[in-house]
Structure 1
């Protein structure tokens, strides 16, 4: 599982390399277009690089919500870290619950025809 600081560092470094800027000058509050000067095409190129770095695919419908550096970091962190709730839910799946139930006892009553 990737740590938040690892994700943040990689994304900020990717932005810094792309923009040819010092990574320390890029803040999580920076807006990709307004503060960093990325146009629509540049944002798509950056997100493509991030997809490659983290081996994930960002669906088109998710692009709308990724407007700041912090939003991109939070989104990627959520995608690379397995959700904790899913791991706990897997322990209580119906298949496991059914396996723990005792088998139904056969009826001892005789059937009359």
Structure 2
């Protein structure tokens, strides 16, 4: 018996059963679900960072996006609201298209004393 104790997608127990195995599952409370989604987000981000190919990378990004969708709902926001906030921040602060690396910031008033 292998113990996982991790959040899985909704169809995973059925897939395990079709493979002739017996999964043991539990339905989480809202607070447990939020905490497990946060762990899952870290797991998926780590898997993305370890991806070796573009195909692996896009698969892991899709998994991460699925977790982000679920987290948005947990925090009481629709996907549309999440996208509106993302767009608003892009207008106000920009996106990441220009590839800017901020190296340092100097405060001229610090040197005028």
Query: TM range, normalised to the smaller chain?
Result: under 0.3
TM-score normalised per structure 2:
0.26
Does 1 or 2 have the higher relative contact order (CA < 8 Å, sep 6+)? 1
- TM normalised by structure 1 equals 0.26
Larger radius of gyration between Structure 1 and Structure 2: 1
